[in-house]
Structure 1
Amino acid sequence: MRMIAVGDNVADCYLDQGLYYPGGNAVNVAVNCKRNGCEEVSYIGVFGNDKKSDHIMDSLDKEGISYRYSRRVYANSGSPGVKLVGNDRVFVRGAQDTAQHVLRLRLTPADLEYIAGHDVCHTSCYSSIERELPVIKEHCDISFDFSTRTDEDYLGQVCPHIKYAFFSGAELDSVQIEALIKTCHRLGTEIVGITKGSEGALFSRNGMLYKQGVTPAEVVDTMGAGDSFIAGFLVSYLKKGVMEEALQSGANSAAYTCTFYGGFGYPKPIGE
Protein backbone atom coordinates (compact mmCIF):
# COMPACT_ATOMS: atom_id res chain seq x y z
CA MET A 1 0.00 0.00 0.00
CA ARG A 2 1.18 3.52 -0.87
CA MET A 3 -0.30 6.78 0.42
CA ILE A 4 0.58 10.42 -0.07
CA ALA A 5 -0.40 13.45 1.99
CA VAL A 6 -0.55 16.84 0.30
CA GLY A 7 -0.82 20.05 2.27
CA ASP A 8 0.08 21.70 5.54
CA ASN A 9 3.06 21.41 7.83
CA VAL A 10 3.50 23.52 10.96
CA ALA A 11 5.39 23.74 14.23
CA ASP A 12 2.91 23.45 17.09
CA CYS A 13 4.33 25.69 19.83
CA TYR A 14 3.35 24.53 23.32
CA LEU A 15 3.56 27.83 25.15
CA ASP A 16 3.35 26.34 28.63
CA GLN A 17 6.22 23.94 27.90
CA GLY A 18 8.45 26.23 25.85
CA LEU A 19 8.62 23.43 23.26
CA TYR A 20 7.41 22.97 19.70
CA TYR A 21 6.45 19.79 17.89
CA PRO A 22 6.19 19.07 14.15
CA GLY A 23 2.59 18.89 13.02
CA GLY A 24 -0.11 19.91 10.59
CA ASN A 25 -2.96 17.69 9.44
CA ALA A 26 -1.25 16.38 6.31
CA VAL A 27 2.04 15.64 8.07
CA ASN A 28 0.31 14.03 11.05
CA VAL A 29 -1.75 11.72 8.84
CA ALA A 30 1.32 10.79 6.78
CA VAL A 31 3.40 9.87 9.83
CA ASN A 32 0.60 7.91 11.44
CA CYS A 33 -0.13 6.00 8.24
CA LYS A 34 3.50 4.85 8.27
CA ARG A 35 3.29 3.93 11.95
CA ASN A 36 0.10 1.96 11.26
CA GLY A 37 1.83 -0.24 8.70
CA CYS A 38 1.59 1.56 5.36
CA GLU A 39 4.56 0.33 3.36
CA GLU A 40 5.32 3.58 1.53
CA VAL A 41 4.29 7.10 2.55
CA SER A 42 5.06 10.40 0.82
CA TYR A 43 4.35 14.05 1.48
CA ILE A 44 4.11 17.16 -0.69
CA GLY A 45 3.94 20.54 1.01
CA VAL A 46 5.49 23.98 1.32
CA PHE A 47 8.34 24.33 3.82
CA GLY A 48 9.77 27.55 5.13
CA ASN A 49 13.52 28.14 5.33
CA ASP A 50 13.85 28.40 9.11
CA LYS A 51 15.05 25.99 11.79
CA LYS A 52 11.52 24.84 12.51
CA SER A 53 11.17 23.61 8.94
CA ASP A 54 14.54 21.88 9.25
CA HIS A 55 13.21 20.06 12.30
CA ILE A 56 9.96 19.06 10.57
CA MET A 57 11.93 17.63 7.64
CA ASP A 58 14.35 15.87 9.95
CA SER A 59 11.38 14.27 11.74
CA LEU A 60 9.98 13.06 8.42
CA ASP A 61 13.38 11.62 7.55
CA LYS A 62 13.41 9.70 10.82
CA GLU A 63 9.92 8.33 10.06
CA GLY A 64 10.98 7.21 6.57
CA ILE A 65 8.66 9.58 4.69
CA SER A 66 9.76 11.08 1.37
CA TYR A 67 9.06 14.78 0.73
CA ARG A 68 11.22 15.21 -2.38
CA TYR A 69 8.40 16.82 -4.39
CA SER A 70 7.84 19.50 -1.75
CA ARG A 71 8.68 23.20 -2.16
CA ARG A 72 10.78 25.46 0.05
CA VAL A 73 10.32 29.22 0.28
CA TYR A 74 11.93 32.17 2.03
CA ALA A 75 9.46 32.41 4.90
CA ASN A 76 8.98 31.20 8.45
CA SER A 77 7.10 28.03 9.29
CA GLY A 78 3.53 28.22 10.46
CA SER A 79 3.80 28.28 14.26
CA PRO A 80 0.41 28.21 15.98
CA GLY A 81 0.53 28.57 19.73
CA VAL A 82 -0.94 25.78 21.82
CA LYS A 83 -2.14 25.86 25.42
CA LEU A 84 -3.26 22.74 27.25
CA VAL A 85 -6.53 23.08 29.14
CA GLY A 86 -6.66 19.86 31.11
CA ASN A 87 -5.62 17.32 28.48
CA ASP A 88 -7.21 19.22 25.58
CA ARG A 89 -5.30 21.57 23.33
CA VAL A 90 -6.46 25.10 22.59
CA PHE A 91 -4.87 26.91 19.67
CA VAL A 92 -3.65 30.50 19.93
CA ARG A 93 -3.49 32.29 16.59
CA GLY A 94 0.07 32.58 15.29
CA ALA A 95 1.76 34.85 12.74
CA GLN A 96 -0.04 35.33 9.42
CA ASP A 97 3.02 35.87 7.19
CA THR A 98 4.35 32.31 7.22
CA ALA A 99 5.04 29.85 4.40
CA GLN A 100 1.49 28.54 4.78
CA HIS A 101 0.10 32.04 4.13
CA VAL A 102 2.35 33.50 1.44
CA LEU A 103 2.28 30.56 -0.99
CA ARG A 104 -0.48 28.20 -2.11
CA LEU A 105 0.53 24.80 -3.46
CA ARG A 106 -0.22 24.31 -7.15
CA LEU A 107 0.42 20.90 -8.65
CA THR A 108 2.48 20.32 -11.78
CA PRO A 109 2.16 17.45 -14.27
CA ALA A 110 5.18 15.84 -12.59
CA ASP A 111 3.46 16.11 -9.19
CA LEU A 112 0.30 14.50 -10.56
CA GLU A 113 2.23 11.67 -12.17
CA TYR A 114 3.89 11.05 -8.80
CA ILE A 115 0.56 11.18 -6.95
CA ALA A 116 -0.88 8.67 -9.42
CA GLY A 117 1.53 6.06 -8.08
CA HIS A 118 -0.27 6.04 -4.72
CA ASP A 119 -3.44 4.32 -3.51
CA VAL A 120 -4.86 7.34 -1.70
CA CYS A 121 -4.07 11.04 -1.39
CA HIS A 122 -4.95 12.75 1.90
CA THR A 123 -5.46 16.50 2.26
CA SER A 124 -7.64 18.87 4.25
CA CYS A 125 -9.38 22.20 4.64
CA TYR A 126 -6.12 23.58 6.06
CA SER A 127 -4.19 23.07 2.83
CA SER A 128 -5.84 25.60 0.47
CA ILE A 129 -5.86 23.03 -2.30
CA GLU A 130 -9.56 22.85 -3.14
CA ARG A 131 -8.98 24.03 -6.73
CA GLU A 132 -6.66 21.08 -7.32
CA LEU A 133 -9.11 18.38 -6.18
CA PRO A 134 -10.72 17.72 -9.61
CA VAL A 135 -7.37 16.97 -11.23
CA ILE A 136 -6.09 14.94 -8.25
CA LYS A 137 -9.25 12.83 -8.50
CA GLU A 138 -8.25 11.87 -12.05
CA HIS A 139 -5.07 10.30 -10.67
CA CYS A 140 -5.88 9.00 -7.18
CA ASP A 141 -8.67 8.50 -4.63
CA ILE A 142 -8.84 11.42 -2.17
CA SER A 143 -9.25 11.47 1.61
CA PHE A 144 -10.27 14.89 2.97
CA ASP A 145 -10.43 16.23 6.52
CA PHE A 146 -13.05 18.99 6.85
CA SER A 147 -12.35 19.57 10.56
CA THR A 148 -15.51 21.45 11.66
CA ARG A 149 -16.43 22.90 8.24
CA THR A 150 -19.91 21.76 7.31
CA ASP A 151 -21.40 24.65 5.30
CA GLU A 152 -23.14 23.43 2.17
CA ASP A 153 -21.23 25.67 -0.24
CA TYR A 154 -17.95 24.16 0.92
CA LEU A 155 -19.32 20.63 0.87
CA GLY A 156 -20.49 21.23 -2.68
CA GLN A 157 -17.02 22.39 -3.66
CA VAL A 158 -15.20 19.39 -2.17
CA CYS A 159 -17.43 16.33 -1.84
CA PRO A 160 -17.91 15.54 -5.57
CA HIS A 161 -14.17 14.90 -5.85
CA ILE A 162 -13.38 12.80 -2.78
CA LYS A 163 -13.94 9.22 -1.65
CA TYR A 164 -13.37 9.66 2.10
CA ALA A 165 -14.71 12.59 4.17
CA PHE A 166 -13.76 13.12 7.81
CA PHE A 167 -15.30 15.63 10.22
CA SER A 168 -14.79 16.70 13.83
CA GLY A 169 -18.36 16.68 15.08
CA ALA A 170 -18.31 16.99 18.86
CA GLU A 171 -20.63 20.01 18.62
CA LEU A 172 -23.13 18.38 16.22
CA ASP A 173 -26.39 16.81 17.36
CA SER A 174 -27.91 13.67 15.84
CA VAL A 175 -30.13 15.60 13.41
CA GLN A 176 -27.19 17.63 12.12
CA ILE A 177 -25.05 14.52 11.75
CA GLU A 178 -27.74 12.70 9.78
CA ALA A 179 -28.16 15.67 7.45
CA LEU A 180 -24.40 16.01 6.99
CA ILE A 181 -23.96 12.35 6.07
CA LYS A 182 -26.83 12.48 3.58
CA THR A 183 -25.47 15.63 1.96
CA CYS A 184 -21.98 14.18 1.52
CA HIS A 185 -23.33 10.98 -0.02
CA ARG A 186 -25.66 12.91 -2.33
CA LEU A 187 -22.68 14.92 -3.56
CA GLY A 188 -20.73 11.76 -4.37
CA THR A 189 -18.62 10.89 -1.32
CA GLU A 190 -18.61 7.14 -0.56
CA ILE A 191 -17.42 7.09 3.08
CA VAL A 192 -18.24 9.76 5.65
CA GLY A 193 -16.74 9.69 9.14
CA ILE A 194 -17.58 11.94 12.07
CA THR A 195 -15.50 11.76 15.23
CA LYS A 196 -17.15 12.97 18.44
CA GLY A 197 -14.36 13.01 21.02
CA SER A 198 -15.19 10.93 24.08
CA GLU A 199 -18.39 9.72 22.38
CA GLY A 200 -16.46 7.81 19.73
CA ALA A 201 -17.23 8.00 16.02
CA LEU A 202 -20.05 7.45 13.56
CA PHE A 203 -19.25 6.42 9.99
CA SER A 204 -21.37 5.75 6.93
CA ARG A 205 -20.48 3.82 3.80
CA ASN A 206 -23.07 4.60 1.14
CA GLY A 207 -25.73 4.96 3.84
CA MET A 208 -24.78 1.94 5.98
CA LEU A 209 -24.01 3.24 9.47
CA TYR A 210 -21.20 2.04 11.73
CA LYS A 211 -20.54 3.13 15.33
CA GLN A 212 -17.17 3.01 17.03
CA GLY A 213 -16.40 3.52 20.71
CA VAL A 214 -13.28 5.04 22.23
CA THR A 215 -10.26 2.86 23.02
CA PRO A 216 -9.25 3.54 26.67
CA ALA A 217 -5.93 5.31 27.17
CA GLU A 218 -3.95 7.30 29.72
CA VAL A 219 -4.54 10.65 28.04
CA VAL A 220 -1.69 13.15 28.15
CA ASP A 221 -2.51 15.31 25.13
CA THR A 222 -5.24 15.06 22.46
CA MET A 223 -3.19 16.85 19.78
CA GLY A 224 -3.37 14.90 16.52
CA ALA A 225 -5.78 12.26 17.80
CA GLY A 226 -8.25 12.89 14.99
CA ASP A 227 -5.47 12.80 12.40
CA SER A 228 -4.26 9.53 13.88
CA PHE A 229 -7.78 8.09 13.71
CA ILE A 230 -7.90 8.94 10.00
CA ALA A 231 -4.56 7.25 9.42
CA GLY A 232 -5.44 4.08 11.31
CA PHE A 233 -8.75 3.85 9.48
CA LEU A 234 -7.29 4.42 6.01
CA VAL A 235 -4.46 1.91 6.33
CA SER A 236 -6.73 -0.86 7.59
CA TYR A 237 -9.55 -0.12 5.16
CA LEU A 238 -7.30 0.03 2.12
CA LYS A 239 -5.66 -3.25 3.08
CA LYS A 240 -8.78 -5.24 4.03
CA GLY A 241 -11.89 -3.26 3.10
CA VAL A 242 -13.63 -4.18 6.37
CA MET A 243 -15.30 -1.19 8.03
CA GLU A 244 -15.46 -2.64 11.53
CA GLU A 245 -11.76 -3.51 11.58
CA ALA A 246 -10.80 -0.16 10.09
CA LEU A 247 -12.79 1.75 12.70
CA GLN A 248 -11.21 -0.19 15.54
CA SER A 249 -7.79 0.45 14.05
CA GLY A 250 -8.59 4.16 13.90
CA ALA A 251 -9.72 4.21 17.53
CA ASN A 252 -6.60 2.34 18.65
CA SER A 253 -4.34 4.69 16.72
CA ALA A 254 -6.03 7.78 18.20
CA ALA A 255 -5.75 6.36 21.72
CA TYR A 256 -2.02 5.76 21.33
CA THR A 257 -1.44 9.30 20.06
CA CYS A 258 -3.13 10.67 23.19
CA THR A 259 -0.44 9.09 25.40
CA PHE A 260 2.32 11.57 24.43
CA TYR A 261 2.70 15.26 23.62
CA GLY A 262 2.46 16.63 20.09
CA GLY A 263 0.98 15.14 16.94
CA PHE A 264 3.71 12.49 16.77
CA GLY A 265 6.42 13.57 19.19
CA TYR A 266 9.85 15.08 18.42
CA PRO A 267 9.83 18.04 20.88
CA LYS A 268 12.34 20.88 20.52
CA PRO A 269 12.81 24.12 22.50
CA ILE A 270 10.98 27.00 20.85
CA GLY A 271 14.11 29.15 20.73
CA GLU A 272 16.12 26.57 18.76
Structure 2
Amino acid sequence: MPIKVATVGDNCIDRYGHPTSLSTVGGNALNVAVHLARAGMHCAYFGAVGDDDAGRRTINELAANGVDIGHVRIAQGVTAFTELTHDDTGDRVIGLEEFGVCLDYRVTPMEFEQLNVMRHIHLGWMGDSGQCQEKLKSMGLSLSQDLAVNGNAAGLDLAFASAGPCRDRAITLANHALAQGAKLAVVTMGPIGSLASDGRSVFEVGAHTTKIVDTLGAGDTFIAAFLAAQLLGRDVNACLEAGRDAAAVTCTHIGGFPQMPLEI
Protein backbone atom coordinates (compact mmCIF):
# COMPACT_ATOMS: atom_id res chain seq x y z
CA MET A 1 0.00 0.00 0.00
CA PRO A 2 1.44 3.43 -0.95
CA ILE A 3 2.67 5.66 1.84
CA LYS A 4 0.24 8.51 2.55
CA VAL A 5 1.78 11.96 2.50
CA ALA A 6 0.56 15.49 1.85
CA THR A 7 1.77 18.91 0.89
CA VAL A 8 0.09 22.11 2.02
CA GLY A 9 0.36 25.59 0.60
CA ASP A 10 1.35 27.40 -2.54
CA ASN A 11 0.82 26.84 -6.21
CA CYS A 12 1.31 29.26 -9.07
CA ILE A 13 1.62 29.70 -12.79
CA ASP A 14 5.26 30.38 -13.64
CA ARG A 15 5.41 32.85 -16.52
CA TYR A 16 8.72 32.92 -18.36
CA GLY A 17 9.41 36.23 -20.08
CA HIS A 18 11.05 36.93 -23.43
CA PRO A 19 12.58 35.10 -25.22
CA THR A 20 11.08 31.95 -23.64
CA SER A 21 7.52 33.33 -23.51
CA LEU A 22 6.05 30.17 -21.99
CA SER A 23 4.16 29.33 -18.80
CA THR A 24 4.16 26.24 -16.59
CA VAL A 25 2.37 25.12 -13.44
CA GLY A 26 4.50 25.26 -10.30
CA GLY A 27 4.92 26.44 -6.73
CA ASN A 28 6.86 24.81 -3.90
CA ALA A 29 4.06 22.77 -2.31
CA LEU A 30 2.64 21.78 -5.70
CA ASN A 31 5.99 20.76 -7.22
CA VAL A 32 6.83 18.65 -4.17
CA ALA A 33 3.40 16.99 -4.35
CA VAL A 34 3.87 16.09 -8.01
CA HIS A 35 7.31 14.60 -7.45
CA LEU A 36 6.20 12.66 -4.37
CA ALA A 37 3.37 11.16 -6.41
CA ARG A 38 5.74 10.38 -9.28
CA ALA A 39 7.98 8.62 -6.74
CA GLY A 40 5.13 6.28 -5.79
CA MET A 41 3.74 8.01 -2.72
CA HIS A 42 -0.01 8.56 -2.25
CA CYS A 43 0.25 12.34 -2.08
CA ALA A 44 -2.63 14.72 -1.40
CA TYR A 45 -2.30 18.40 -2.17
CA PHE A 46 -4.01 20.93 0.12
CA GLY A 47 -4.18 24.41 -1.36
CA ALA A 48 -6.30 26.92 -3.25
CA VAL A 49 -6.62 27.85 -6.91
CA GLY A 50 -8.71 30.56 -8.50
CA ASP A 51 -11.93 30.03 -10.40
CA ASP A 52 -10.15 30.76 -13.68
CA ASP A 53 -8.46 28.94 -16.55
CA ALA A 54 -5.17 28.89 -14.64
CA GLY A 55 -6.87 27.20 -11.69
CA ARG A 56 -8.41 24.55 -13.91
CA ARG A 57 -5.05 24.01 -15.58
CA THR A 58 -3.40 23.58 -12.19
CA ILE A 59 -5.91 20.96 -11.05
CA ASN A 60 -5.55 19.09 -14.35
CA GLU A 61 -1.75 18.95 -14.02
CA LEU A 62 -2.01 17.65 -10.46
CA ALA A 63 -4.45 14.93 -11.50
CA ALA A 64 -2.38 13.99 -14.55
CA ASN A 65 0.59 13.33 -12.27
CA GLY A 66 -1.33 11.15 -9.83
CA VAL A 67 -1.76 13.68 -7.03
CA ASP A 68 -4.91 13.39 -4.89
CA ILE A 69 -6.87 16.55 -5.79
CA GLY A 70 -9.74 15.92 -3.38
CA HIS A 71 -8.54 18.69 -1.05
CA VAL A 72 -7.93 21.43 -3.61
CA ARG A 73 -10.10 24.44 -2.87
CA ILE A 74 -11.46 26.54 -5.74
CA ALA A 75 -11.76 30.11 -4.51
CA GLN A 76 -13.18 33.19 -6.16
CA GLY A 77 -10.26 35.17 -7.50
CA VAL A 78 -7.01 34.82 -9.40
CA THR A 79 -4.72 31.80 -9.38
CA ALA A 80 -1.26 32.84 -8.18
CA PHE A 81 1.43 33.58 -10.75
CA THR A 82 5.11 34.47 -10.85
CA GLU A 83 6.93 36.32 -13.61
CA LEU A 84 10.40 34.95 -14.34
CA THR A 85 13.46 35.52 -16.47
CA HIS A 86 16.73 33.58 -16.76
CA ASP A 87 20.30 34.70 -16.39
CA ASP A 88 23.12 33.48 -18.66
CA THR A 89 23.60 30.28 -16.61
CA GLY A 90 19.96 29.22 -16.83
CA ASP A 91 19.27 30.20 -13.22
CA ARG A 92 15.89 31.81 -12.72
CA VAL A 93 15.38 35.42 -11.72
CA ILE A 94 12.05 36.11 -10.00
CA GLY A 95 10.27 39.31 -10.87
CA LEU A 96 6.65 39.96 -9.96
CA GLU A 97 4.91 37.55 -7.56
CA GLU A 98 1.12 37.66 -7.39
CA PHE A 99 -0.08 35.35 -4.61
CA GLY A 100 -3.72 35.47 -5.70
CA VAL A 101 -6.06 33.22 -3.74
CA CYS A 102 -3.09 31.48 -2.08
CA LEU A 103 -2.66 34.55 0.12
CA ASP A 104 -5.84 33.91 2.11
CA TYR A 105 -5.74 30.10 2.08
CA ARG A 106 -6.15 28.60 5.55
CA VAL A 107 -6.48 24.96 6.57
CA THR A 108 -9.88 24.18 8.12
CA PRO A 109 -10.48 22.05 11.25
CA MET A 110 -11.80 19.23 9.05
CA GLU A 111 -8.69 19.40 6.87
CA PHE A 112 -6.46 19.21 9.94
CA GLU A 113 -8.27 15.97 10.82
CA GLN A 114 -7.59 14.68 7.30
CA LEU A 115 -3.92 15.64 7.58
CA ASN A 116 -3.66 13.77 10.89
CA VAL A 117 -3.47 10.41 9.09
CA MET A 118 -0.47 11.35 6.94
CA ARG A 119 2.95 9.81 7.47
CA HIS A 120 4.57 13.07 6.50
CA ILE A 121 3.52 16.60 5.52
CA HIS A 122 5.55 19.10 3.53
CA LEU A 123 4.61 22.74 4.01
CA GLY A 124 4.97 25.23 1.20
CA TRP A 125 4.51 28.97 1.35
CA MET A 126 1.46 30.14 3.28
CA GLY A 127 0.33 33.62 4.30
CA ASP A 128 -0.78 32.57 7.78
CA SER A 129 2.28 33.67 9.80
CA GLY A 130 3.15 30.08 10.67
CA GLN A 131 -0.19 29.13 12.24
CA CYS A 132 -0.56 25.93 10.20
CA GLN A 133 2.96 24.86 11.06
CA GLU A 134 2.30 25.44 14.76
CA LYS A 135 -0.96 23.48 14.67
CA LEU A 136 0.53 20.51 12.82
CA LYS A 137 3.51 20.54 15.17
CA SER A 138 1.15 20.43 18.17
CA MET A 139 -0.52 17.38 16.59
CA GLY A 140 2.81 15.55 16.61
CA LEU A 141 2.97 15.13 12.83
CA SER A 142 6.15 14.69 10.80
CA LEU A 143 6.87 17.99 9.02
CA SER A 144 9.27 19.46 6.50
CA GLN A 145 9.63 22.87 4.93
CA ASP A 146 11.95 24.83 2.67
CA LEU A 147 13.44 27.65 4.73
CA ALA A 148 13.34 29.83 1.62
CA VAL A 149 9.57 30.09 2.09
CA ASN A 150 9.59 30.20 5.90
CA GLY A 151 12.77 30.82 7.85
CA ASN A 152 11.48 29.29 11.10
CA ALA A 153 12.73 25.72 11.47
CA ALA A 154 11.23 25.17 14.93
CA GLY A 155 9.31 21.91 15.11
CA LEU A 156 10.43 20.64 11.71
CA ASP A 157 11.61 17.08 11.30
CA LEU A 158 13.41 18.16 8.13
CA ALA A 159 14.45 21.70 7.25
CA PHE A 160 15.64 22.29 3.70
CA ALA A 161 17.76 25.23 2.56
CA SER A 162 19.96 26.35 -0.31
CA ALA A 163 23.41 27.85 0.22
CA GLY A 164 24.69 28.24 -3.32
CA PRO A 165 28.19 26.91 -4.07
CA CYS A 166 29.62 27.53 -0.59
CA ARG A 167 30.15 24.73 1.94
CA ASP A 168 30.85 27.11 4.83
CA ARG A 169 27.52 28.85 4.26
CA ALA A 170 25.79 25.46 4.01
CA ILE A 171 27.18 24.41 7.38
CA THR A 172 26.10 27.74 8.88
CA LEU A 173 22.56 27.35 7.52
CA ALA A 174 22.36 23.77 8.76
CA ASN A 175 23.56 24.69 12.24
CA HIS A 176 21.10 27.59 12.40
CA ALA A 177 18.18 25.34 11.46
CA LEU A 178 19.24 22.76 14.05
CA ALA A 179 19.55 25.47 16.70
CA GLN A 180 15.99 26.57 15.91
CA GLY A 181 14.77 23.03 16.57
CA ALA A 182 14.92 21.08 13.31
CA LYS A 183 15.81 17.41 13.73
CA LEU A 184 17.65 17.18 10.40
CA ALA A 185 18.89 20.05 8.24
CA VAL A 186 19.44 19.44 4.53
CA VAL A 187 21.24 22.07 2.46
CA THR A 188 21.88 22.08 -1.28
CA MET A 189 25.04 23.69 -2.65
CA GLY A 190 24.30 23.86 -6.36
CA PRO A 191 27.24 22.64 -8.46
CA ILE A 192 29.23 21.34 -5.47
CA GLY A 193 26.58 19.00 -4.06
CA SER A 194 24.51 18.86 -0.89
CA LEU A 195 24.85 18.02 2.78
CA ALA A 196 22.73 17.06 5.76
CA SER A 197 23.36 17.38 9.47
CA ASP A 198 21.62 16.12 12.58
CA GLY A 199 23.99 17.98 14.91
CA ARG A 200 26.14 14.91 15.46
CA SER A 201 27.17 13.90 11.95
CA VAL A 202 27.45 15.67 8.60
CA PHE A 203 26.61 13.70 5.47
CA GLU A 204 27.69 14.95 2.04
CA VAL A 205 27.35 14.00 -1.62
CA GLY A 206 28.72 15.66 -4.73
CA ALA A 207 26.75 17.01 -7.66
CA HIS A 208 26.22 15.62 -11.15
CA THR A 209 27.31 17.62 -14.16
CA THR A 210 24.27 18.32 -16.31
CA LYS A 211 23.27 20.66 -19.11
CA ILE A 212 21.10 23.27 -17.42
CA VAL A 213 18.02 24.48 -19.25
CA ASP A 214 16.11 25.82 -16.25
CA THR A 215 16.80 25.54 -12.52
CA LEU A 216 13.23 26.40 -11.51
CA GLY A 217 11.81 23.64 -9.33
CA ALA A 218 15.10 21.78 -8.95
CA GLY A 219 15.11 22.44 -5.21
CA ASP A 220 11.51 21.26 -4.90
CA THR A 221 12.41 18.11 -6.83
CA PHE A 222 15.35 17.52 -4.51
CA ILE A 223 13.09 17.86 -1.48
CA ALA A 224 10.51 15.40 -2.81
CA ALA A 225 13.08 12.79 -3.83
CA PHE A 226 14.86 13.08 -0.47
CA LEU A 227 11.57 12.70 1.40
CA ALA A 228 10.45 9.73 -0.69
CA ALA A 229 13.76 7.96 -0.14
CA GLN A 230 13.61 8.61 3.60
CA LEU A 231 10.03 7.36 3.84
CA LEU A 232 11.17 4.19 2.11
CA GLY A 233 13.78 3.66 4.84
CA ARG A 234 16.94 4.68 3.01
CA ASP A 235 19.90 6.18 4.88
CA VAL A 236 20.80 9.86 4.73
CA ASN A 237 23.49 9.52 2.06
CA ALA A 238 21.11 7.56 -0.16
CA CYS A 239 18.46 10.25 0.37
CA LEU A 240 20.93 12.95 -0.65
CA GLU A 241 21.82 10.96 -3.75
CA ALA A 242 18.15 10.50 -4.63
CA GLY A 243 17.57 14.23 -4.30
CA ARG A 244 20.63 15.07 -6.37
CA ASP A 245 19.74 12.69 -9.18
CA ALA A 246 16.13 13.84 -9.42
CA ALA A 247 17.03 17.54 -9.29
CA ALA A 248 19.56 17.10 -12.08
CA VAL A 249 16.80 15.81 -14.35
CA THR A 250 14.55 18.77 -13.53
CA CYS A 251 17.32 21.15 -14.60
CA THR A 252 17.13 19.71 -18.14
CA HIS A 253 13.62 20.96 -18.92
CA ILE A 254 11.41 24.01 -18.51
CA GLY A 255 9.32 24.01 -15.34
CA GLY A 256 9.39 22.18 -12.04
CA PHE A 257 8.18 18.87 -13.49
CA PRO A 258 7.61 17.42 -17.00
CA GLN A 259 4.60 19.11 -18.58
CA MET A 260 3.49 20.84 -21.75
CA PRO A 261 4.23 24.57 -21.41
CA LEU A 262 1.75 27.03 -22.84
CA GLU A 263 2.65 30.08 -24.88
CA ILE A 264 2.05 33.49 -23.31
Q: Does 1:91 align with 2:94?
A: yes
Q: Does 1:229 align with 2:222?
A: yes
Shift of 1:262: 0.5
- Secondary structure, aligned partner of 1:236: helix
Q: Structure 2 regions of 5+ residues with no counterpart? A: none
Deviations along 1:87-126, whole A, 9 cap, x unmatched?
1111111446x2233x1x32222111211121110013x2
Residue in 2 that maps onto 1:142: 143
8 A contact 1:168–1:196 mirrored in 2: yes
Deviations along 1:177-227, whole A, 9 cap, x unmatched?
434333322332111011111121121023310112112323211110010
Q: Structure 1 regions of 5+ residues with no counterpart? A: none
Residue in 2 that maps onto 1:35: 38
Residue identity in the other structure for 2:231:
L
More relative contact order in 1 or in 2 (CA 8 Å, sep 6+)? 1
Shift of 1:131: 1.1
Deviations along 1:155-189, whole A, 9 cap, x unmatched?
3xxx2221100011117661x44343333223321
* Distance change in 2, residues 1:93/1:5 (3 Å): same
- Secondary structure, aligned partner of 1:41: strand
Which piece of structure 1 moves more, 45-54 or 135-144? 135-144
8 A contact 1:148–1:168 mirrored in 2: no
- Secondary structure, aligned partner of 2:71: coil
Residue in 2 that maps onto 1:51: 53
Q: Does 1:249 align with 2:249?
A: no
Taking the aligned partners of 1:30 and 1:95, their CA distance within structure 2 comes to 21
Residue identity in the other structure for 2:157:
K
Report the TM-score when normalising by structure 1: 0.88
2:156 to 145, 151, 162: 162
1:22 to 1, 9, 25: 25
* Distance change in 2, residues 1:22/1:148 (3 Å): closer
Residue identity in the other structure for 1:123:
L
Which piece of structure 1 moves more, 189-198 or 178-187? 178-187
8 A contact 2:11–2:49 mirrored in 1: yes
- Secondary structure, aligned partner of 1:68: coil
Residue in 2 that maps onto 1:5: 7
Taking the aligned partners of 1:95 and 1:106, their CA distance within structure 2 comes to 17
Residue identity in the other structure for 2:37:
K
8 A contact 1:145–1:165 mirrored in 2: yes
Which piece of structure 1 moves more, 247-256 or 180-189? 180-189
Taking the aligned partners of 2:149 and 2:76, their CA distance within structure 1 comes to 31
Shift of 1:257: 0.7
8 A contact 1:10–1:80 mirrored in 2: yes
Taking the aligned partners of 1:173 and 1:243, their CA distance within structure 2 comes to 18
Taking the aligned partners of 1:147 and 1:171, their CA distance within structure 2 comes to 16
- Secondary structure, aligned partner of 1:32: helix
Residue identity in the other structure for 1:11:
I
Residue in 2 that maps onto 1:265: 258
List structure 1 segments (4+ residues) > 6 angstroms apart after TM superposition.
none
Residue in 2 that maps onto 1:215: 208
Report the TM-score when normalising by structure 2: 0.90
* Distance change in 2, residues 1:58/1:80 (3 Å): same
Shift of 1:265: 3.1
Taking the aligned partners of 1:180 and 1:254, their CA distance within structure 2 comes to 20
Taking the aligned partners of 1:172 and 1:268, their CA distance within structure 2 comes to 33
